[in-house]
Amino acid sequence: MTTSTSASASAIDSTTSTVTTRDGTAIYYKDWGQGTPVVFSHGWPLQGDAWEDQMLFLAEHGYRVIAHDRRGHGFSGKPLDGNHMDTYADDLATLVDALDLRGAVLVGHSTGGGEVTRYIGRHGTARVAKAVLISAVPPQMLRTDSNPEGLPMEVFDAIRAGVLADRSQYFKDLALPFYGCNRPGATPSQGVIDTFWLQGMQCSIRSAHACIAQFSETDFTADLAKMTIPTLLIHGDDDQIVPIVASARRSVELLPQARLIVYEGAPHGIPTTHKERINADLLDFLRS
């Protein structure tokens, strides 16, 4: 863990390290600052650096911030096996336990929101005080008889096909709806698009492909019922990747202690596109 004598940017000395899971996979993480621990879980196909705006902001405001790269993503180990939501949650538990975190706040974006939810479903809330789900996939993305507002399997089959055919070009194309760059009047940032592509290409093709079924088909309904801690949901109502109707709108009804903040006209990648507002809402929730 980093030790710092003040919350100023100049006093924050970042460190990087890894923890090793039960199957020998190294999970890479960053751990900055001190204070109440805030643990970030990223979306697909990104890595912990997708949270850099929130990590810097909260570290400068007196919080300990930790972000890991999911197995197969970023700088973590890239095994052939273990690309399963239960394993992602267990990897997160390995990190939380290894750092002996207490009273932590878990924050998940997109697939990371599923990871946080499944973590609590499998490991409980003994080490967790609050949770934040941002543009998150629960309760289930796939359309089923019990989830008629979900997306059809054809949508996810097309994602798989894109990854297998030319994932480099696919990630460049996906960045546009991810950040709402394809909407009228949008001013795309080439830097943001390039960063999305770079992080996506650092994910192994095995994990990039296998994770699609995990974020789309996993049913988190039972896990949400176990989230008895205060939970904040933040979602854009123009999310083209995880539409709000079948995700946050349903999750807020299933969670025991939840509040939903809707960002009007906002896309999926709001930790980047709306970082100032996300930072402010996170800080308010942490202080509440």
Give residue-wise pLDDT tens across range 111-127.
999 999 999 999 999 99
- At 101, is the secondary structure helix, strand, or coil? coil
End-to-end CA distance of the chain: 25
Distance in angstroms (rounded) separating the CA atoms of residues 18 and 68: 9
Name the pairing type of β-strands 26-32 and 64-68. antiparallel
Q: Are 173 and 179 in contact (CB under 8 A)?
A: no
Residue 268 annotated in active site: yes
Please tell me the chain's helix, strand, coil percentages from 3-state DSSP, rounded to the nearest 5.
Answer: 45, 20, 40
Average confidence (pLDDT) per 10 residues, the chain, 288 residues: 34 63 96 97 98 98 98 97 97 97 98 98 98 98 96 98 98 98 94 98 98 98 98 98 98 97 98 98 98
Distance in angstroms (rounded) separating the CA atoms of residues 156 and 141: 10
- In DSSP terms, 30 is beta-bridged to 16, 67
**How many residues are present in the chain?**
288
Question: What is the residue extent of each domain of the chain?
Answer: 9-287
Q: Per the residue annotation, which of 31, 209, 239, 251 is the catalytic one?
A: 239
CATH among 1.10.760.10, 3.90.25.10, 3.40.50.1820, 2.60.40.1170 for 9-287: 3.40.50.1820
Residue 239 annotated in active site: yes
Distance in angstroms (rounded) separating the CA atoms of residues 227 and 117: 7
Q: Per the residue annotation, which of 76, 110, 204, 216 is the catalytic one?
A: 110
Q: What does the block give as tokens for 178?
A: 């991810």
Report pLDDT for 16: 57
Distance in angstroms (rounded) separating the CA atoms of residues 81 and 156: 20
Report pLDDT for 10: 30
Q: Per the residue annotation, which of 42, 235, 268, 274 is the catalytic one?
A: 268
H or E element, residue 54:
helix 52-60
Report pLDDT for 203: 98
| Confidence (pTM) | 0.93
Angle 125-126-128 (CA atoms, 0-180°, nearest 5)?
A: 55
Report pLDDT for 117: 98
